[in-house]
Structure 1
Amino acid sequence: MPAAKRLFIGLMSGTSLDGIDCVIVDLAGDTPALIAADCHALPDNLRHDVLTLCADKQAPLAELGRLDIELGRCFAEAAIKTLAAAGVVAQEIEAIGSHGQTVFHQPNSAAPFSLQLGDPNTIAERTGITTVADFRRRDMAAGGQGAPLAPLLHQHCCASPNKNRAIVNIGGIANITLLLANGARVAFDTGPGNVLMDLWIARHNGARFDKNGEWATGGSIDSAFLAELMSEPYLALAAPKSTGRELFNGAWLEQRLASLKQRPSPQDIQATLLEFTATTLSTALLAGMNQGEIYLCGGGAHNTALLKRIGELMPGYYVGATAEIGIDPDWLEAMAFAWMAQQTLDGIAVDTSPFTGAKKPVMLGGIYPSPTSAS
């Protein structure tokens, strides 16, 4: 007899703020089975307010509270709409794993913390489903960076016993998971994924992203600007390490441009930003893995110019999408938080030490019971 279904929802909004990814997955087997998935756009005014908060790195407490509740409502609505479209009722779902929206991530201070908005109390009440959230801070309390966490699922379902593999997630920030045939596991944020390219094209062309890297492809790489970008100290740090908009943002980009004797054209800047992402990724992969297979996921996996350039910088490596190993590249990160919710509900401590540097296995996230749990 087939195993009874175990349905979970995963909710994720990344640093690109391109929408709330919502997945329904069956976690009864070893490999997550995707039942339904959708991306729900954030209201323009809310997206603007969150981006402003991320850029300013400060806000009145009332504003912080408002955004937390409004994002919680949006996350709940995303789950409700996805359930309705899939013909699944809330009572069939064991739990929601909600990552929330990161607005600040500071792992290396004297008091390390990571702040995700999207109130899980609101999600649990509005959906009627137990919600697991606030995954990153427990990892930090155990001495970890709090990121990246998706490699937990990469390790669970993407490793090969006889081949070196790397899973490359290109969201706003890019991260890699090295799954070596000898059993070694390493993961870290390499630097910007789409965040700088998205910011730049929005400023100059009004678009949210550079589709297929078309604008970048029409420009030329500025070697002086690329060298300035590559001088960022974060890139030389050893793993485990994590980063975000707190470092790679518009102010950082303007500082780098201001140091140049001659400012490149806007299109040449875009071309150089694409080269920066490709170079930081390929440098990290070449240093960590001697030949093997590279599988890409995340929004940046659709940027054909970026993928082509990564392939050019890594001759002899196979470069494809995670779909080839059974995981949809658009939904892998949301699926990871559904899987983490399952681990926590099942009382399983996960070992993030190869990825975040945590000192011991921990159960990630807090549990916010459904309204009917106590009745």
Structure 2
Amino acid sequence: MVAKIKSGKSLIGALNYNENKVKQGKASLIAAVKYPKDKDALSFNDKLFRLTDLAAMNQRAKTNAVHISLNFPTGENLADEKLEEIVKDYLQGVGFETQPCLVYRHEDAGHPHCHIVTTNIKRDGGRINLHYLGQNESEKTRKAIEVKYGLLKADEQPKQKPNLKADIAAADYGKAESKRAMTNILGYVLRAYKFTSVPELNAVLGIFNMAADRGPQDSRMYAHGGLVYWILDNRGNKVGVPIKASTIYGKPTLTALEEKFKLNEQLRKPFKEGLIKILQEVLRSPQTRYGFQKALREKDIHCILRQNREGRIYGLTLIDQKNKVVFNGSDLDKAYSANAINDRLLPDPIGPLRAQQDLTISTDLNFGQTPAGDDLRDILFAPEREELAALNKFKKKKRKGLNL
């Protein structure tokens, strides 16, 4: 069993994530712990207000939403009743036994797992300390649960060897076990492509719906050189739970990658001039952004343009699919830097909407530098501010009979 704990600022976001999965037929509510009604009788507001009213007991706490996922190996299918017992023991082990929570069984991945939505604000306004909760109490508890219920032990699972064939498909969350899909993609990409930084690696991984993530620059993970891998959906959003680099076959950690960066710096040099000649040929005639990418694609060059909200290009990455090398435009020559290309390309006459659809655009290839306020979208929380503001008007009216 593997437990993942995420904290955030949006209880409604955490709840909406799970409720939307229920609407899609990909999840079901199996327990509503310490709620005044049976789970089947609860409305959306019943589920939300039980948590937000409790969170309101501490107005100073900015972080009051806790979203936990318990993940089990493929084939370890547990009945709802057994899963409820495991959740009860887990919450007691991490100090949440007195907290109300909602437990959802998910069927949207290649492995069995459940999600728990709760708050760390107690009835008296005190906070349950989340600092080091994951590596201390959670680790001890999950190991005890594995023994008590005879579960497969996460620490003893053999690391999956990658499929090194070139016919690797992009990750599709829910269709196959996440870790297996990631292992296969990484095994192929790390062997075949020559890249010299995490953003360049992500340019390639993005083609396979994956991303390497160092965390925000002010995070402990970033400071200690940590690295996790995510599966992305078709819009580039992170889905599911991240997998630590150290737990993947071959251990593609940041330290290991940095050694590969140095080697790749030399290995990609012979292909630099050839890529410059292709760019010169494509740019001999005036090009729109879409036309520029299309012309390169015809020569087996995958071009990623990163642009700001005003539409100005601030980053350019080129993936030579024939030679499996990755270059930023500025690494080739100043003439191919983002600013230079931005000034040379003509606007697309088909309008911004079509251009946005046709261009391969990323606003953040380095996931370790997410914009302030995004906070990795609180992982699973996806805040919905307008709805929250509306619901807060109701929350201000003190309601009775909720057995707080």
Please report the TM-score for the alignment, with normalisation by the length of structure 1.
Answer: 0.30
Give 1 or 2 for the bigger CA radius of gyration. 2
Question: TM-score scaled by structure 2?
Answer: 0.29
